[in-house]
Amino acid sequence: MKSKYPVNGKTSAVGVINKIIDLEGLRLSSEGMAVGYHEGKATFVPGLLPGEIGQVQIMEEKKNWQRGKLLRILKASEDRVNPPCSVYSVCGGCQLQHLNYEQTLVWKKQWVADALSRIGKIQLDSVTIHPTIGMDHPWRYRNKARLHCGEEGSLGYYQEKSKATVPFDDCLLISEGMNHWVREAEGFLSEEGKKSFPQLTSITFRENSQGEGMMILDSLPDVSLQDTDQQDTSLRDAQSFGAWAGLGKEDIGSESIEGTGSGISSVWGITHSGEPERIVGEGDFTENVLGAEFKISPLAFLQVNPTQTYKLYNTVLDWAELSKEKVVWDLYCGIGTITLALAAKAQKVWGIEENPYAVADARENAKRNKIENVEFIPGKVEDTFRQITDQPDIVVLDPPRAGAHKRVLERLLELKPDQIIYVSCDPGTLARDLGKLQSEGYRVVEVQPVDMFPWSVHVETVVLLQR
């Protein structure tokens, strides 16, 4: 019997076609796939939800697990919703639009707890894990989008588990203004732009809270973009505020679409050697975070969700027992967003950051905001932290997805700060590092998941450790 329920979830196939089974989803994996059991073997099915029964075609089979493709839903969950995105079934940007938003928050808390218990060997009965902090309106939250170049000037995210580009008419994760910039850029690329940038592979769009934008072109030749004699007419037009400079400013305004602001204020190119060069525009791209103004270079990191960043950083500030007698280390500090906020209540804050552009921004941002009790050190944290002579009372670290380097953890265990506040974007590496710290005398006290990336399987987590 054909199911009356549409398959509004992810469906992907890997491997060779095999048998067809009926499967009940029992839980949701951290990759967003339902997990059920068939003949004792764990079976992972994209698109199926816990509590649902689906007809599944086994597409990949291993000794202890198998992966299936959802053919139809035989019994639907009350938590299933219709994804509003027209390309959700193929785009790799979101994994959970077919699940009620409140349930995505429940599962993200569960994924964090599972990782801490399974990987970190942490006893959860002695840890307070708070409910995931969600958003009142979990749409159009991203201030940055990296889109890949497709055929005939199209731009889009990659298809899941593929390098195929998925163009879209309206991405619901970015503002209406940024969507307009994408359309304008596609129009330019489909006409003359691609001739000027034959090696262009992707474009990154950034937007601040004032609706002002920055555009970054990847993989440009290693010649000066300011040397117009080396470029053709189309690029010279762009450099003289032609097509690129007009993005978001023509035929559209803040009165007609909310958030379009003043359009793209600067366009940058990233050469093959990794150096950013300005093509058009002048002045700094800035954003306000926790009441301070921050300059942001093209290659500097900034959290992509301003609303949730406020909640994330305030959690850090609430947990940190700051006073004017305490020294704080901020490891992997980026452009100094949380560093400067910590400095307002501490004696001294040291920041370490590998990205040289972010370090330059951080130093400039301290001057902009007239904060003098901070110092920034450029370089890898594991190679430079011994340059700091002050004993830390509190250490805040926000490492990349791979987690903290083992030498960083070893140094923290030598120094024994009273508090460690760990901010992570990956529950697995977070749990690994917490397990190491716990085994050497630290206690995991509180855990706060934050939904920084609604509708995706990613979750940001803040953890408080004390001795």
Looking at 15-83, which runs of residues are DSSP E strands? 20-24, 27-28, 33-38, 41-46, 53-61, 65-75
59's CB contacts (< 8 A; 6+ apart) are: 13, 14, 15, 16, 17, 18, 67, 68, 69
Neighbours of 274 (CB within 10 A): 8
Is the alpha carbon torsion for 14, 18, 20, 23 positive or negative? Answer: negative
Round to whole Å and give the CA distance between 52 and 26: 8
Alpha carbons 234 and 440: distance in angstroms, whole number: 61
pLDDT at 194: 60
Q: Determine contact, residues 238/244, Cβ cutoff 8 Å.
A: yes
State the pLDDT at residue 196: 65
Digitized pLDDT (tens) for each residue of the chain, 467 residues in all = 343 444 444 544 444 457 999 999 999 999 999 999 999 999 999 999 999 999 999 999 998 999 999 999 999 999 999 999 999 999 989 999 999 999 999 999 999 999 999 999 999 999 999 999 999 999 999 999 999 998 888 999 999 888 899 999 999 999 999 999 999 889 888 866 666 667 788 999 999 999 999 999 987 765 445 444 444 444 444 443 345 555 545 443 333 333 334 588 888 988 888 889 888 888 899 999 999 999 999 999 999 999 999 999 999 999 999 999 999 999 999 999 999 999 999 999 999 999 999 999 999 999 999 999 999 999 999 999 999 989 999 999 999 999 999 999 999 999 999 999 999 999 999 999 999 999 999 999 999 999 999 999 999 999 999 99
Give the β-pairing of 128-129 and 443-450. parallel
- Among residues 95, 104, 34, 120, which one has the least CA distance to residue 450? 104
The structure tokens 């006893």 sit at 123
The per-residue pLDDT for 195 is: 65
Strands 202-207, 144-149: pairing is antiparallel
What values do phi and psi take at 241, rounded to 5?
60, 45
Q: What is the pLDDT of residue 280?
A: 84
Chain CA centroid to CA 129, Å: 22
What tokens appear for 155 in the block?
Answer: 């731009």
Neighbours of 151 (CB within 10 A): 8
- Apex 246 CA angle, 240 and 248, nearest 5: 155
Identify whether the C-beta of residue 76 lies closer than 8 Å to the C-beta of residue 53: no
Tracing tokens 């090696």 back to the chain, one arrives at 199
To the query of whether residue 333 is one of the catalytic residues in this protein, the response is no
Burial 233-263 (b: 16+ CB within 10 A, else e): ebbebbbeebbbbbbbbeebeeeebebbbeb
Phi, psi of 74 (to 5 degrees): -90, -30
- Beta pairing class for 394-397 and 419-424: parallel
Catalytic residue among 85, 91, 171, 425: 425
Q: What is the DSSP string of 286-315?
A: EEEETTEEEE--TT----S-HHHHHHHHHH
The pTM is what?
0.89
Q: How far is CA 390 from CA 67, 329, 397, in A?
A: 52, 9, 17
